[in-house]
A and B are shown apart, each in its own frame.
Chain A
Amino acid sequence: MVVEAIKNGYVIDHITVGNAIKIYHLLGLDNIDCEVALISYVKSKKMGRKDLLKIGKLIDIVFDKIAVIDPDITINIVKNSKIIEKKQLEIPEKLINVGICNNPRCITSSERNLDQIFHLVDRKNKIYRCHYCEAILENSKIA
């Protein structure tokens, strides 16, 4: 399969198979005016199989969002057809306004002007808890 090289944008590499589509939706790539390539189940020396995303525009990306889904990916930032930066993500200790607490009894569901804050409590299993009510952040609530 051949996908053209991009001039300006991102190549998101080393995505665990199945996660590219999640990242695609998380970043709202279905709503941007540029070329996007989502390639799944690509052969990889390092991972066996991997997913890959190419985005043909330097859009604003909140990297913490991606790190929560898949902290081991690499983000190549491409400018004028050259990789100017390789970003290794790390799972963040704290998330601010990256997810929404799913607990209907949480104070964040009623109080205005409150940041949605989550703390990493289990690095191995990527578990975050709400700063206020301590409910677990569900992956589907990362927005």
Chain B
Amino acid sequence: MREKKKKNLIDIKDLSVKEIDDLIKVANDIIEHKEKYSHKCDGKILATLFFEPSTRTRLSFESAMLRLGGKVLGFSDSASSSTTKGETLADTVCVVSGYADIIVMRHPKEGAPVVASKRSLVPIINAGDGGHNHPTQTLTDLLTISREKGRLDNLTIGLCGDLKFGRTIHSLITAMSRYKNIKFILISPDELKLPEYVITEVLEKNHIEYIETNSMEEYMNELDVLYMTRVQKERFLNEAEYVRLKDYYILDKSKLETAKEDLCILHPLPRVNEISTEIDDDKRAKYFEQAYNGVYIRMALILKLLEVL
């Protein structure tokens, strides 16, 4: 049996600020010198275990591994896994870790990657566990902010939409709270406000300045970054509540009238109606660059966890 590897990425807090800065540095180098990295993972296999469908994240990881010269295997929903036969997650992961050098998993149950990392012989990357964590989305966001703004400190960041269930929001707040002079403008309807525990355990604990508001326009002129989110249907137990809130915020040209010229507009995608397509050609719209950046930061992460740099 192979020696058990210890490095995993389950939660963005698993990485120190220095480790995140190093990953960003490597990702930037990959963007500049793609050919230099095209054979770094020759002979390596990435397993993608997606117990919950997610085309974008899965393809981003597959693209990352293929661009590094590695190969990919896996499944894209639990119906095609042995879970349907009643196998436990722990057993599935234990078996697959004998087939691959690194595992990426998405699971609808929160905390599933913790169980997987305990049984896996190879590194585990959490590609989303329910409404809990999605650390590689946060790495993608940090890389994009760093590239667009040239820094990760001294920023006023507007977070807009579903701040209650939005796991990308919670992880981004946690990650950005470790940098100096960060201010958050939390824009949401009352029903989708940031959970109290994020306010007390992250913002207040780290003495981070924040303002809660219902208005998208009120603080628009102050923002360096505007992070939009989709109201996610799958997080609602009540369909009527979802319908009432899904189009609460729609970013269009009129809303950007007072915005800074160098505002950076981000969205984890997929979007529905929350960003009008008329914004897509605005030079401040960076959400597609953000999606492209996701591949490069995932390449950097795979290299780090496989220790092939």
Question: Which of B89, B90, B108, B201 has a CB less than 8 Å from the CB of A105?
Answer: B108
Please, what's the 1-or-0 string for A77-93, where 1 marks a CB less than 8 Å from any CB in chain B? 00000000000000000
B88 touching A107, Cβ below 8 Å: no
A132 touching B197, Cβ below 8 Å: no
Q: Determine the chain A residues whose CB is within 8 A of the CB of B71 once the complex forms.
A: none
A97 lies within 8 A of chain B by Cβ: no
| B interface majority secondary structure | mixed
B109 lies within 8 A of chain A by Cβ: yes
B131 lies within 8 A of chain A by Cβ: yes
Q: Determine the chain A residues whose CB is within 8 A of the CB of B89 once the complex forms.
A: 107, 111
Nearest Cβ in chain B — how far from A60, in angstroms? 29
Number of interface residues of B (CB under 8 A): 17
Number of interface residues of A (CB under 8 A): 19
Question: Which of A106, A114, A121, A136 has a CB less than 8 Å from the CB of B110?
Answer: A106
Inter-chain contact count A-B, CB under 8 Å? 52
Q: Determine the chain A residues whose CB is within 8 A of the CB of B130 once the complex forms.
A: 105, 133
A111 touching B132, Cβ below 8 Å: no
Please, what's the 1-or-0 string for B70-107, where 1 marks a CB less than 8 Å from any CB in chain A? 00000000000000000011100000000000000001
Residue among A107, A109, A113, A121 with max Cβ neighbours from chain B (10 Å): A107
Closest-by-CB residue of B relative to A136 is B197
Please, what's the 1-or-0 string for A53-68, where 1 marks a CB less than 8 Å from any CB in chain B? 0000000000000000
If the complex has contacts A105-B130, A105-B131, are A132 and B111 also in contact, measured as CB distance less than 8 A?
Answer: yes
Question: Which of A113, A121, A133 has a CB less than 8 Å from the CB of B111?
Answer: A133
Alpha-carbon gap, A136 to B198, bound state (A): 12
Closest-by-CB residue of B relative to A103 is B110
B109 touching A110, Cβ below 8 Å: yes
If the complex has contacts A105-B130, A105-B131, are A130 and B111 also in contact, measured as CB distance less than 8 A?
Answer: yes
Q: Determine the chain B residues whose CB is within 8 A of the CB of A138 once the complex forms.
A: none
Please give 19 more A-B residue pairs, beta carbons under 8 A apart, in addition to A107-B89, A112-B88, A132-B110: A105-B109, A105-B130, A107-B107, A107-B115, A111-B90, A111-B109, A111-B115, A113-B88, A121-B201, A132-B111, A132-B114, A133-B109, A133-B110, A133-B111, A133-B132, A134-B110, A134-B111, A134-B132, A135-B110
| Those 9 A-B pairs whose CB atoms lie nearest each other, nearest first | A132-B111, A133-B110, A133-B111, A107-B109, A107-B111, A107-B112, A105-B130, A105-B110, A132-B114
